[in-house]
Structure 1
């Protein structure tokens, strides 16, 4: 109701259910709406710990909203079975770089392999290779899983077939 950093009015409206401290009185439960002079009123809302909890609760809510927003943005840029229009855009973006096409071609020819083994002929450092594989994975062309400390990459044939079917349907 009142915050210590605000200028309080001369009289406070107390709503039913509020607990207040009156000067020289114990806690009083207000049963009906009334007006009490501020000089005799100390409202429980001035409790510093309570105000801190309210601030922390607000910060936690804001953080939760930010996390939800980030997750929804990531979903917009991730392969989703059945959402062909979005998937086609992601796949064409992923296939736009020659290095990613070569990585995909190698996975098609030689089958599943570790990330470091996949990148050996290309002389790519692991962070750059991982970034390229993440783009291929988000587009659905590659799936990865970890076995211990090793990340295994697997070619996803169904995604490329989806792209081929879409291209054939557009040709007519």
Structure 2
């Protein structure tokens, strides 16, 4: 499981690969269509697609003469489950936190109540 998570997170670490995954959320795409918005060679895009494929985040399929890419959302399940373990922390009320910081930096300002944080 750790090796799979490492591979998925390594693939997700690159902004180009994250952008490709976002594009594939819409629909399957031909490799040439995936490459269009990026200012890099088709060979460079192919390397990114290979990394995404090895991580199981996408699959590639040849249809006639065109290679198509498809998002595999289930591949993110293990990473999502792992990250949800960190969701146990309560969200911070940013407005109350800002008031708290203001009161610390400016003692004349009224201090926020503890339960707002």
Q: 1 CA distance for matches of 2:40 and 2:67?
A: 16
Structure 2 residue corresponding to 1:144, chosen from 54, 57, 60: 60
Aligned to 2:22: 105
Give the number of the structure whose residues are more often strand, by fraction: 1
Q: 2 CA distance for matches of 1:134 and 1:165?
A: 24
Structure 2 residue corresponding to 1:167, chosen from 61, 72, 83: 83
Structure 1 residue corresponding to 2:36, chosen from 120, 123, 129: 120
Unaligned residue ranges in structure 2 (runs of 5+): 89-117
Are 2:4 and 1:87 equivalent residues in the alignment?
yes
Larger Rg: 1
Pick 1 or 2: higher relative contact order, CA cutoff 8 A, min separation 6: 2
Q: TM-score, normalised by structure 1?
A: 0.48
Unaligned residue ranges in structure 1 (runs of 5+): 1-83
Are 2:43 and 1:131 equivalent residues in the alignment?
no
Supply the RMSD in Å over aligned alpha carbons: 1.4
Count the aligned residue pairs: 88
Q: TM-score, normalised by structure 2?
A: 0.69
Q: 2 CA distance for matches of 1:162 and 1:141?
A: 12
Q: 2 CA distance for matches of 1:139 and 1:151?
A: 18
Q: Deviations along 1:20-48, whole A, 9 cap, x unmatched?
A: xxxxxxxxxxxxxxxxxxxxxxxxxxxxx
| 4+ residue runs over 6 A deviation | none
Give the number of the structure whose residues are more often helix, by fraction: 2
